[in-house]
Structure 1
Amino acid sequence: MQALLFEQGVQRIVEDQTGPITYYPDIITPALAKAWFDTLLNHGDWHESSRMMYERLVGVPRLHCHYDIASSALPSVLRDALAVVKQHVDVPFNSIGLNCYRDEHDSVALHNDKLHELVPHRPIVLLSLGATRTMVIQRKKPPRLKTELELEAGSLLLMGWNAQWHYDHGIPKLRCPVGPRISVAFRVRPEKADKTW
């Protein structure tokens, strides 16, 4: 994996054998981050979903959509975002997943990405657009060290594949009002015959 090309403002959350997890601010300008955010918010193929929790069906507190990078339906804004990300992380991404946190009530609980849905030793890269939200990163085993990281518009978070073994991450609800945020997640998924992820 190619190293990122700049160091100013970089936060290395984890550097040892359980990581890496590294935060890179300002990989794009505020103006470009806003333009991409507006385009995706207004034209993304957003869906609501629900899941069973405590024996009842509940709504997932965020919107989501997914794009296969090889698809002709990939929006041009995501092609542009992929090109920028690949300038910094030289990985053959084939999947882009988006989550839209509409306001302070939307969230995602602490979790790790399912490793069987990822190609081993390929990182996950998150590009943040829109409002700043706090990500909680917590070690699974004692000592359960916890980091709260402010994900700002135009920033990139790199999580190594092995970090999914050792850390959970999530976006908690907030008590104060906040605007919408879009997380653009670049992954390398295993090849599947039906190409449905």
Structure 2
Amino acid sequence: MRRAPSLLQTALFAPAPRVLAEDAEGGVVYRPAVVDEVTQRRWFQTLREAVRWQAQRRPMYDRVVDVPRLTASFWLDDPKLPDALAEAATAVRAAVGAPFNAVGLNFYRDGRDSVAPHRDKLHMLVPGQPIAVLSLGSPRRMTLRRMERGARVDFVDLEPGSLFVMSHASQFVYEHGIPKTDEPVGPRISCAFRVRPRGEH
């Protein structure tokens, strides 16, 4: 019986990273095939079923609207942390070399689910530490754009098992998002690993 490749073996033969932006803290880098297909699929199935997903509502202009995705979050030292997230955190810490202590999850059920262009809330991040987004499930397109008038929008197709790594410094300069699409897309879970100050979540 053929054994599935280990995470380390997968990393050794992974395609080259794609540098999308550069800065003194590492910029923005897309790293495909960091996690093998069998492992990412197992993590996706486990998290889809085991996590208590929340449907949120937020005020927008003069009304309250549904957030177009399901969400969840954990401190990584939470005794109730799903095993799949503990395994993913170990792999992502090793791949990125950052002391991540929290993870935010987004469950995009289909092409109608999305997140508007945004940057991470800086007061909820430890300065100098990166954000690493692990993609599980189906591919989905992300946008990246400098926050200046007329700036070009870059598109990155986030494959399952990939990492999208953003420096803390990049959050002052770039916005990222997942647009809606009419194309047939399957469900996707994003796991955004961060280093947060204690007391923030």
Normalising by the residue count of structure 1, what TM-score does the alignment of the two structures yield? 0.92
Alignment of 1:104-115 (within 5 A): 104-115=111-122
Equivalent residues, number: 191
- 5+ long unaligned stretches in structure 1: none
The question of whether the paired residues in 2 share the 8 Å contact of 1:18 and 1:166 is answered with no
The alpha-carbon deviation at position 28 of structure 1 amounts to 1.1
The alpha-carbon deviation at position 12 of structure 1 amounts to 0.4
Matched, 1:120 2:127: yes
Instruction: Supply the distance in 1 between the matched residues of 2:155 and 2:105 (Cα, whole angstroms).
Output: 21
Instruction: Supply the distance in 2 between the matched residues of 1:151 and 1:55 (Cα, whole angstroms).
Output: 34
The alpha-carbon deviation at position 9 of structure 1 amounts to 2.7
Q: CA RMSD in A?
A: 1.7
Matched, 1:85 2:111: no
The question of whether the paired residues in 1 share the 8 Å contact of 2:15 and 2:33 is answered with no
Corresponding residue for 1:164? 171
Identity %: 43
- For 2:138, which of 131, 135, 140 is the aligned residue? 131
The question of whether the paired residues in 1 share the 8 Å contact of 2:68 and 2:112 is answered with yes
- 5+ long unaligned stretches in structure 2: 1-10
Normalising by the residue count of structure 2, what TM-score does the alignment of the two structures yield? 0.90
Corresponding residue for 1:150? 157
Tell me which moved more, 79-88 or 100-109.
Answer: 79-88
- In structure 2, do the counterparts of structure 1 residues 7 and 179 end up closer, same or farther at CA, with 3 Å as the change threshold? closer
The alpha-carbon deviation at position 143 of structure 1 amounts to 5.1
Instruction: Supply the distance in 2 between the matched residues of 1:160 and 1:7 (Cα, whole angstroms).
Output: 21
| Alpha-carbon displacement from aligned partner over 1:70-128 (angstroms, at most 9, x marks no partner) | 11011111110011111111211110110000000000000000101100011000000
